[in-house]
Structure 1
C-alpha cells in the first residue's frame, strides 16, 4: 500500500512496544498509533498468528510473556511499553495469573533491563477496584500492585477502563444485538450504575498519554464522558430512541445466574474451555457501582472522549 499523499514521515526514534495486539482493544490501539506515524512493535503468541495484520510501521515479535528473550526484543529501543494482554476467562486464580500478574512483572523487568527505561502503561480493569468480587478482579489488582512495586523509579501509568465496546468486540456484542432487536437483558436487580467507553475513544486516550502523559505515575479510570455513568433504564432509553422501537427490559434473577455459573465450572473442565460465566463473574455483573471518575486523567493528557452511547451503538451495529 502506498504512502498517503502529504503524509508525515514516521516519527524517528518513537517506537511503542505492545502486548495484546491481536485483541479487540490492542488492535484498536495499534491502528490509532500507526495513524499518527508512531512505530509499533507487538508481541504475538504462536496460537494467535492468524489474527495478525500487516501495516507500515508495525512489526510483530513472535513469543510469549513467559519468554524473557521475546520480551527483551519487544521492548528494546522502545519509548513506551503498553501491556494490554490479559486473561478474562478462567475457573480458578491460576488461569489469570500468567497474563494479569506474572506477565506484568516480566514486562516491568524487561523495561528495567532496557537501556532507554521506557514509560509503562498497564491496562487493568475497573474490576480491580473491588478485588474481593472475583478471581479475575483480584488478579487485576495484584497486577497493579506488582507494577507499583517493581516500577519504582520508572514512569508508569495504570488505566482501569470500564466496559469497552465497538466494532470487532465479541464480549458485549450479543447484549447489544439483543437490545437492537428490542430486548435488554439486565443482570440481577439492575439497580446499579455503570460507565462505558467506545473503543476508538480509549485508543485516542492512549495516544494522548503517549504525547502528554509523562510522569503521571497514577491510576486512572477513563470513560465516555457521561458523569455518574448509566443506569440500565438510561441505556434502555438510548436504545429505544436510537432504534425507534420499544425495548423490553428482562431482569435475569441472580439465583438463576449463580446456578448457571456453578454448572458452567464442571462443564468447562469436561469440555476443556475456560469459562466466562463463573460465580465470581456473577458477583461482578450484580455489583452496583461500576462508575468511573477520570477528570484528573483528562486534564493531565489533554484528552476528551468524543463518542457517546447513542453514536457508539450506531457505529457498532449500524
Structure 2
C-alpha cells in the first residue's frame, strides 16, 4: 500500500471515514481543508489549509505523495454554476497540480450519477470532471462511480432509513424503480485496495461502478421487506405523488436562492431520484483489484451504529 496519500474532502462524510481508515493502516495523509478539525490532531495527518480554488495550496497538497484521492465536491447547489465551479473547475486545478508535481496515481471519487449527465447539474458536473481527468496526461487514472453511499456520518439517506425503521417507507419514485446502495466502509475498503496496487504492480485505469452487490438492485417493495424483517413488524409503503414532489422541489429551490443557501432537493435532483434504473455492476473492479463488498443493507439496518450520524 502507498505510504503517503493526498486527500481532498477529508472533512466530508466519505473523507472522514477514509482518513480514519488510512491512519489505522499507518498511511501518512496530507489533507486539504479550509480549517483543520480541532478534534483531529493525529501525527499521521498533515492539514493543508486551502481550497480547490487555491493552486498554491494544491501544489503543496500533492508535492511528494505517492497517490492522490479526490473526494471533495459539491452535492448541493442552487444553480449550475455552483457545481461547475467546484466539481469541474476545482477538479481541473487539482489534476493540473498532480501533473506539475509528478504524482503518478490519482483516484477520482465520482458518482454513479455521471452515467446519466442529462439528469441534473450535479450529474453533468461529475461527468465533465471525469472527462477532464480522462483527457489529462495523468499516468494512472482511476475513477470510482459509487452509487448512493450511506453509513456513520451520513445525513442524506439517514432520514429514509430512520423512517423505514419506524414502519414507513416514503417512496420518491415509481414502484418499478431499481435502486442500489453502498456502505461507506465498503467504499473505504475499495479505496484502500486500490492503494495496495503499487505503480510497479498492476495498473488500475478506467472507470468502475460500485454497489453493495445486491443482484438486480433494490425495488421499493424489497426495501420494505428488508425493513420489516429487521424491525420485526410491518412496513407501510407511502408513495409521494410526483406533482407534490415537483412542487416541493421548486419551492425549496426558490427559498434557498432567496436565503443564499445550497439546497439538496431541487427539480434537478428530483430527476435523479425518480430515475428508473440505478443498478450497478461490480465485476470490473473485482477483476481489477479483487475488491468485493461486505456489508448488505439488511446488515446495516440491523445495527444502528452503521447508519447513525457521528
TM-score, normalising length from structure 2?
0.94
Higher deviation after alignment, 101-110 or 308-317:
308-317
Counterparts in 2 of 1:52 and 1:258: CA distance versus 1, 3 Å:
farther
Higher deviation after alignment, 265-274 or 51-60:
51-60
Aligned to 2:41: 54
Correspondence 1:30-45 to 2 at 5 A: 30-45=19-34
Q: CA deviation at 1:305?
A: 1.0
Higher deviation after alignment, 79-88 or 307-316:
307-316
Q: CA deviation at 1:279?
A: 0.7
8 Å CA contact 1:22, 1:52 repeated in 2: no
> Paired residue for 1:255, among 224, 233, 243?
243
Q: Match of 1:289, SS? A: coil
1:97 aligns with 2:72: no
1:188 aligns with 2:173: yes
Counterparts in 2 of 1:317 and 1:211: CA distance versus 1, 3 Å:
closer
Q: Match of 1:64, SS? A: coil
Q: Match of 2:93, SS? A: helix
Aligned to 1:280: 268
Aligned to 2:64: 77
Query: For residues 59-106 of structure 1, what are the alpha-carbon distances to aligned partners after superposition, in whole Å with 9 as ceiling and x for unaligned?
Result: 111111111110011001111101100101112110101221011111
1:174 aligns with 2:159: yes
C-alpha distance in structure 2 between counterparts of 1:282 and 1:120, whole Å = 31
Q: Match of 1:193, SS? A: coil
Counterparts in 2 of 1:317 and 1:107: CA distance versus 1, 3 Å:
closer
Query: For residues 206-255 of structure 1, what are the alpha-carbon distances to aligned partners after superposition, in whole Å with 9 as ceiling and x for unaligned?
Result: 00001027522200011111121111111111110011011111111111
Q: CA deviation at 1:302?
A: 1.4
1:312 aligns with 2:300: yes
TM-score, normalising length from structure 1?
0.91
> Paired residue for 1:14, among 3, 27, 32?
3
8 Å CA contact 2:148, 2:181 repeated in 1: yes
C-alpha distance in structure 1 between counterparts of 2:246 and 2:38, whole Å = 34
Query: For residues 103-134 of structure 1, what are the alpha-carbon distances to aligned partners after superposition, in whole Å with 9 as ceiling and x for unaligned?
Result: 1111111110114x230000111111001111
Q: Structure 1 runs of 4+ off > 6 angstroms?
A: none
The alignment yields a C-alpha RMSD, in angstroms, of 1.6
Q: Match of 2:106, SS? A: strand
> Paired residue for 1:133, among 110, 119, 124?
119
Q: CA deviation at 1:153?
A: 4.6
1:144 aligns with 2:130: yes
C-alpha distance in structure 1 between counterparts of 2:39 and 2:132, whole Å = 29
Q: CA deviation at 1:52?
A: 5.8
Query: For residues 130-178 of structure 1, what are the alpha-carbon distances to aligned partners after superposition, in whole Å with 9 as ceiling and x for unaligned?
Result: 011111111111111111112x351010011001111111111111111
Structure 1 unaligned segments of length 5 or more: list them: 1-10
Aligned residues: 303
Aligned to 1:6: none
Q: Match of 1:290, SS? A: coil
Q: CA deviation at 1:16?
A: 0.4
8 Å CA contact 1:19, 1:26 repeated in 2: yes
8 Å CA contact 2:150, 2:307 repeated in 1: no
8 Å CA contact 2:197, 2:203 repeated in 1: no
